[in-house]
Amino acid sequence: MRTFIAVAAAAACLTAVPALADNVTGEILAYDRLAHVIVLTDNSVWEIVPKDLPLPADLQQGDKVTIDFVTNGDSGVGKINSISRVGG
């Protein structure tokens, strides 16, 4: 019985969902510098965490950006790695 419990516990550890890198590209609909929030035209809302994440200078509505982030599986976004302006 103890062997079964140990094997079951080991199997449960192996089924954990790993963190995965991902990115999204879109146009900024709104950017709130004080609240550290970007809303893209697809209505996705991105809280900029960490607050001291380097951002492109003069980021504004209409800019096209790529947000590189780590996803925690079904838990959503874990951490934003970078936000960069696309093109010009």
Tens digits of residue pLDDT in 40-86: 999 999 999 888 999 998 999 999 999 999 988 777 777 899 999 99
pTM for the structure as a whole: 0.73
Give residue limits of the domains in the chain: 18-85
DSSP H or E run through 70 = strand 64-71
β-partners of residue 68 are 23, 82
Looking at the domain 18-85, which fold is it? OB fold (Dihydrolipoamide Acetyltransferase, E2P) (2.40.50)
Write out the two tokens for 87: 């093109």
